[in-house]
């Protein structure tokens, strides 16, 4: 019986099954990208990218360097103006005016490869600063929130340290706490472990995994394939500014539908 159905409509059956199984599919998506296009002069950085991110989902973006992954994140928090298409946050297209953009950006936490902590402030003050200056929180309340977040990322004992006296992995965990202090709806990570010494990568990935388990909606650009395989609910493969393939990690890593996905993964040494 099943054989007959599969024989007649294999692609449709597969697509319907994975869409139904997709995490958060019973709720409106947090982010929707519709035919997003971004050009730099003659260069097409994003070409007709359509995607969605559901509530509580971890979406990993993978693909070769220069394929448009960071550009997509910058289009997500309106650091770039689109040349076509739309990005919707909770069903509303991203605004264009600077003041509206700032409000939308506050709803997204961003974590970069290079941490970007304030060097002359302690870990605690780095985390407390946004809530004080942007949200207008009292310094006492902001510091209490910051301390709780440093505890969450395992750095309560380092609250008084300046960035120069923290390892890369510790600085990145402070950066994650700082983003969380603004109570974002979605967290965007752009290669958060690429600049780290190998021995500190795991502590950052563990913090991210814990966030995922707590239900945070996350978009993660990463080359850490075992993290994507284990933690992502949805994986999108980019190549030349376009989506090569997207699907659950079991599809992408164990049974890629596109030969170029397999080539990309085997270049990284992924053997399933």
Ligand X SMILES: Nc1ncnc2c1ncn2[C@@H]1O[C@H](COP(=O)(O)OP(=O)(O)O)[C@@H](O)[C@H]1O
Q: Which residue has the tokens 């284990």?
A: 230
- Kindly state the smallest distance separating residue 3's Cβ from ligand X, in Å: 41
Nearer to ligand X, 45 or 60 (CB): 45
The item of Mg ion, ligand X, none sharing an interface with residue 172, based on CB under 5 to 8 Å by kind, is none
Length of the chain: 272
Out of 52, 54, 71, 233, the only residue in the binding site for ligand X (CB under 6 A) is: 71
3-state secondary structure of 113: coil
The item of ligand X, Mg ion, none sharing an interface with residue 97, based on CB under 5 to 8 Å by kind, is none
**Token representation of residue 191:** 């290669």
Q: List the x/- string, 165-194, binding to ligand X by CB under 6 A.
A: ------------------------------
- Kindly state the smallest distance separating residue 66's Cβ from ligand X, in Å: 4
Does residue 77 interact with ligand X by CB under 6 A?
Answer: no
The item of Mg ion, ligand X, none sharing an interface with residue 68, based on CB under 5 to 8 Å by kind, is ligand X
- H-only helix segments in 47-122: 69-76, 98-105
Nearer to Mg ion, 70 or 222 (CB): 70
The item of Mg ion, ligand X, none sharing an interface with residue 45, based on CB under 5 to 8 Å by kind, is ligand X
The region, left, alpha or beta by phi > 0 then psi within -120 to 50, assigned to residue 66 is: left
Nearest to 264 by CA among 225, 210, 207: 225
Does residue 268 interact with ligand X by CB under 6 A?
Answer: no
DSSP result, 145-188: HHHHHHHHTT-GGGTT--GGGS-HHHHHHHHHHHHHTT--SEEE
Contact residues for ligand X (CB under 6 A)?
Answer: 40, 43, 45, 63, 65-71
């Amino acid at each position: 019986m099943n054989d007959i159905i599969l024989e007649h409509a294999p692609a449709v059956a597969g697509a319907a099954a994975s869409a139904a199984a997709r995490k958060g599919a019973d709720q409106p998506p947090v982010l929707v990208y519709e035919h997003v296009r971004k050009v730099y002069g003659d260069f097409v950085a994003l070409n007709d990218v359509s995607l969605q991110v559901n509530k509580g989902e971890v979406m990993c973006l993978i693909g070769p360097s220069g394929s448009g992954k960071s550009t997509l994140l910058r289009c997500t928090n309106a650091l770039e103006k689109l040349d076509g298409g739309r990005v919707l946050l909770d069903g509303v297209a991203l605004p264009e005016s600077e003041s509206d953009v700032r409000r939308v950006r506050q709803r997204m936490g961003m974590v970069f490869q290079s941490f970007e902590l304030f060097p002359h402030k302690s870990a605690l003050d780095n985390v407390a600063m946004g809530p004080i200056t942007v949200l207008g929180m009292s310094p006492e309340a902001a510091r209490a929130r910051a301390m709780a977040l440093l505890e969450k990322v395992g750095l309560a004992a380092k609250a008084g340290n300046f960035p120069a006296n923290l390892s890369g992995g510790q600085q990145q965990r402070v950066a994650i706490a700082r983003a969380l202090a603004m109570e974002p709806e979605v967290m965007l990570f752009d290669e958060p472990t690429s600049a780290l010494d190998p021995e500190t990568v795991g502590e950052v990935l563990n913090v991210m995994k814990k966030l995922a388990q707590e239900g945070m909606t996350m978009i993660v650009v990463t080359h850490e394939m075992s993290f994507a395989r284990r933690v992502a609910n949805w994986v999108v493969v980019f190549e030349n500014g376009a989506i090569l393939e997207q699907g659950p990690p079991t599809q992408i890593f164990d049974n890629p539908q596109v030969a170029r996905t397999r080539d990309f993964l085997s270049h990284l040494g992924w053997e399933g």
